[in-house]
A and B are shown apart, each in its own frame.
Chain A
Amino acid sequence: MTDLQTTPYADMPGPGETILEVRDLAVEFRTRDGVVNAVNGITYTVAQGETLAILGESGSGKSVSAQAVMGILDIPPAVITSGEILFQGDDMLLMSEEDQRQIRGAGISMIFQDALSSLNPVFTVGFQIGEMFRTHRGTSRKEAKAKAAELMDRVRIPAARERIDDYPHQFSGGMRQRVMIAMALALDPALIIADEPTTALDVTVQAQIMQLLSDLQAETGTGLILITHDLGVVNEVADKVAVMYAGRIVEEGTVDEVFTQPAHPYTAGLMASIPLAERPGQRLNPIKGTPPNLAYIPPGCAFHPRCPMARTGKAAQPGGDCRSDLPVLREVAVGRRAACHYSEELLHG
């Protein structure tokens, strides 16, 4: 822990040591109306300086998996039914509440989607940034404020020293998100999870915030998990991407490869749905159907009811019936994994 906070990462632009490893994580919500299987066994790793994008539609389980890592799921109704969350080798799920708490904010921190509702309306931003130092380091009020001002400078909030006593609602959307980023950065965490950090912002501000995030990441060498449904954002900043559907990772690989040559029909469908400037006036090409209700995930491959390639019955290969056989996430090419019985066909035509 202490090493983390003192080691300079500046000379470490590329991926290094593994920071977070999530293994076979499953989360369900036990409600009165039945069990909702939000996350069904996902596995991924993030290394120093690396950006992993978790891409998926609303309800694909991407935010729930991040909340499980942060330990901010509401338990109950949520239950982590299996899996390990290894932060620098230690399983957070086995740690005491107090040890977990010390990792939150200092080891792993989080940037939320809506900065206005994620900041407490009754305190000034300077006070709230300073809280990071006060809760974790017991810093004095005065010193915490000075550090807050430094951080506000670092996330490029103009006239930080004058604005430190302003309240969240006095800031614009982009500036508020910068305040959130300042809080997330405060204790030099090894990993930052950004849960749709730009969804609530307008397009020009989105670009600035993503730029800021990637600059800061380059400076500090933290790992970054970027949870998003925005294909453009993934393409710009991520190194690796994990595509989620119905609580499972259906495809994983480097952004370049996944985007140019998807190995899962769902990813292929997402790519085909992007409106292209080269084809103006054309109809959009959405994936047919709707994402499944997580309380009733279809058997076999969850995507099969919407999949143009789905094969069932006699048309299927042995063990490859999309309606009854669950495809496992497997290596389909060097450094690439997909959970589809027919990835090779998609890859090689």
Chain B
Amino acid sequence: MSDLRSDDDRVLDERGDDTVEAELEALTGAGQLRQSSLWGDAWRKLRRSPLFIFGAVISMVLVLMSLFPQLFTRTDPRACDLSKSRQGPSAEAWFGYDVQGCDYYANVIYGARNSITIGFTVVIGSIIIGVVLGALSGYYGGGLDTVITRLTDIMFGLPTILGAIVILTVLNQSLGRTVWTVSLALVVLGWMVPLRLLRSSVISVKGADYVSAARAMGSRSRRIIARHVLPNSTGPVLVYATIAVGSYIGAEATLSYLGIGLQLPEYSWGLQINSGQRWVRDAPHLVLFPGILLSITVLSFIIMGDALRDALDPKNR
């Protein structure tokens, strides 16, 4: 009796899977069976989301650009000819020339590296801090949680730009202004958001039955955090990370524009906009091109984050 009914169950289950799989195969052309965990589902959804693909392709191009700028331009961004200063776009110089008469296209391409490096470094750094402290604070609660939460509140009180000006001014004396000091300043001012996100999702996951079950089955706290709590609570942080890459690239540009981020002769879109603004009336291309690239970059990461959030949202299943 029991086996009969069980077989029925199985048939039903399998049928359900098969139709879904068939549908998916038809849509994606890839027959990846048995992948339907939370992340598996999300990945399938993402592959079908035009927005995500758009964002992913653009950010891939940008990452490639920052790793190998030579692939995009053969011109040396340092080979300048003052007689060509501020000349507009033409067939041989697509983005025109800057004040020094250097090829602006090459300059903008080379500017991607610093922006992208800072975007990723800051996000990785602030997420490592946020995830570790957020997991501890959410899982153990009590006094540790109080200390971490209060510290977070205090840090939230600091205005990012003002804080970055102070930190970078202080660091300037000893370390100078490099990609790494700018990243450090942004990490110091930015770890609170992922911490709060993770802490709150850890608190909600901590109450889940499978966490009690794992405890009842004799798992150690460390194992429970690693196996049960973190895999089920990183979704919101991941979405944040994707969006944050874009906004930190913007933040670097802002700081460089304000004169407290990177400094010449580094390449950076913020610096380029900064130095171009003086001639914006007769040579608008100096602001326009780095501005367009900056916007596209920020936009592509934000679009990916949005698509990821939709894919991970259980309500959309």
Contact = CB atoms under 8 A, between A and B. Distances in A.
Interface of A: 67, 70-72, 101-106, 109-110, 112, 114, 117-124, 131-132, 135-136, 156-159, 163, 165-167, 169-172, 174-175, 180, 183, 204-205, 208, 211-212
Interface in B1-44: 1-3, 5-7, 9-10, 12-13, 16-17, 34, 36-39
A58 to B, nearest CB: 17
Given A156-B2, A159-B10, A208-B5, A117 B216 contact: no
B92 interface: no
Contacts of B213: 110, 112, 118-119, 180, 183
Contact of B223 (A117, A122, A124, A135): A135
Q: Which of A70, A104, A120, A156 has most B Cβ within 10 Å?
A: A120
Contacts of B232: 120-122
B6 A157 contact: yes
Contact of B209 (A103, A112, A124): A112
Nearest to B220: A101
Contacts of A158: 3, 6-7, 10
B218 A204 contact: no
A121 B212 contact: no
B9 A175 contact: yes
B218 A172 contact: no
Contacts of B162: none
Contacts of B37: 121-124, 167
B210 A104 contact: no
B contact residues, range: 20 to 34
A167 B16 CA distance: 14
B48 interface: no
Contacts of B17: 170
A299 to B, nearest CB: 34
Contacts of A211: 2
A109 B215 CA distance: 10
B215 A71 contact: yes
A150 to B, nearest CB: 17
B83 interface: no
A330 B10 CA distance: 50
A105 B218 contact: yes
Given A172-B13, A211-B2, A118 B218 contact: no
B278 interface: no
Interface string B31-66: 000101111000000000000000000000000000
A208 B217 CA distance: 24
B217 A183 contact: yes
Contacts of A163: 10
B12 A172 contact: yes
Contacts of B214: 120, 131
A319 to B, nearest CB: 42
10 contacts: A102-B218, A117-B210, A122-B39, A122-B232, A131-B217, A135-B220, A158-B7, A166-B34, A174-B9, A175-B13
B219 interface: yes
Contacts of B220: 101, 135
A123 B2 CA distance: 27
Interface string B210-254: 101111111110010001100110000000000000000000000
Contacts of A172: 9-10, 12-13
B141 to A, nearest CB: 10
Given A121-B232, A135-B218, A205-B5, 6 more contacts: A119-B210, A120-B227, A122-B39, A131-B227, A175-B9, A180-B213
Given A158-B6, A172-B9, A104 B216 contact: yes
Contacts of A165: 34
Interface string B48-92: 000000000000000000000000000000000000000000000
Q: Which of A72, A124, A159, A175 has most B Cβ within 10 Å?
A: A72
